[in-house]
Amino acid sequence: MKREFYKILSLTFLTLLTIHLHAGNPDRQGEAGAYELLINPWARGSALNTLNASRVKGTEAMMVNPAGLGRISKRQEILAAHTRWLVPSGITVNSFGYTTKKGENGALSFSLMSLDMGNIKVTTTESPEGTGATYKPTFFNLGVGYSYTFGGKVSVGSAVRVISETISDLSAFGFCIDGGVQYAAGDENQFKLGIALRNIGSPMRFSGSGLSTQLQGPAGHQLTYDVRLSRFELPSLLHLGMSYDFKVGDYITTTPMANFTANSFGKDLLGVGLETEINKMFSLRFSYSGPLGSSDVETKGAYLGFGMGFGLEYPLDKKGNNILMLDYGYRPTNPFQGTHNIGIGLSF
């Protein structure tokens, strides 16, 4: 029964992969919306350029591959992270997540991610330099996910996310679904393969009183005209990654990884990364990810492709039942001064 299930599952995702690879189109870059869904707010994943679809675990899996939710080492996990995005743009990203195991093989997770863009000046046709007033955009997404592991080797997961983008007189709401699979092989599960399909959901459209204006009609009466904006799609993508754990002595584990990302609204990405864990306490992370094909000035992004970071897992008791986690990630950019991620968590 399980063997037939694996065959059906593999066939399904291979079909999705084929469809998605043919659907990608770099000429559609910039046509989607809700691009905050592509920001990885967690320090570990950011340092690895989100190349960890095959081995991501716990709460961080909500933004990469929900199949990894149940692979946490303890029963519960709490994470919080703060990101300074494209310094000195003044934009920050705050995120919080909680994951708990359900039974022996299941896991349930919740996550919240919000963007703080600061106060923006209100400008009008009559006052292009500003009216003296300001407004503050509110962008956030709230997700819930579940994963289940079969025989310790194959895990599947899915997540549903609600998206909200609002200002004082305009708003847009939507939802999306993520799904993924992780497969582990070897005597110590050292080889890992991951596939994830993300941001599949309903188109979004802005609406509100900000799209209404009063103009004088033909007979001299004041008429209210409403502008209807076109809908925009979500930036759907597909991750395909693999990794392998190499033991170096008794205390060091080095894990090279590779990941391919097929973007529906941009160029496909290919990247490699390396994570080294020392004594199961200290970790170093390095990565590089870049677009396939040539890039010109019009389509080139701000990120240079490199990522780096480190992490610390410190046991709070002698038995190691409670672990404090600290992580940092950095991605250089041109222009701007890079993106900095810092995270703190507790596994218990």
What does the pLDDT look like over 243-291, one tens digit per residue?
Answer: 999 999 889 999 999 999 999 888 889 999 999 999 989 999 999 999 8
pLDDT in tens, 48-95: 999 999 999 999 999 999 999 989 888 999 999 999 999 999 999 999
Using pLDDT thresholds of 50, 70 and 90, give the confidence band for residue 100.
Answer: very high
The CA angle 210-213-214, to the nearest 5 degrees, is 150
List C-alpha distances in Å: 308 to 96, 129, 174, 276. 22, 40, 33, 12
Structure confidence at residue 208 (pLDDT): 87
Q: Which residues pair with 222 in a beta bridge?
A: 216
pLDDT in tens, 1-39: 455 445 545 545 554 555 444 445 666 777 788 999 999
Sign for the pseudo-dihedral over CA of 157, 95, 313, 321 = negative
Give yes or no for residue 299 having a pLDDT over 70.
Answer: no
How distant is the alpha carbon of residue 106 from its chain centre? 22
The pTM for the full model equals: 0.88
% the chain with pLDDT above 70: 90
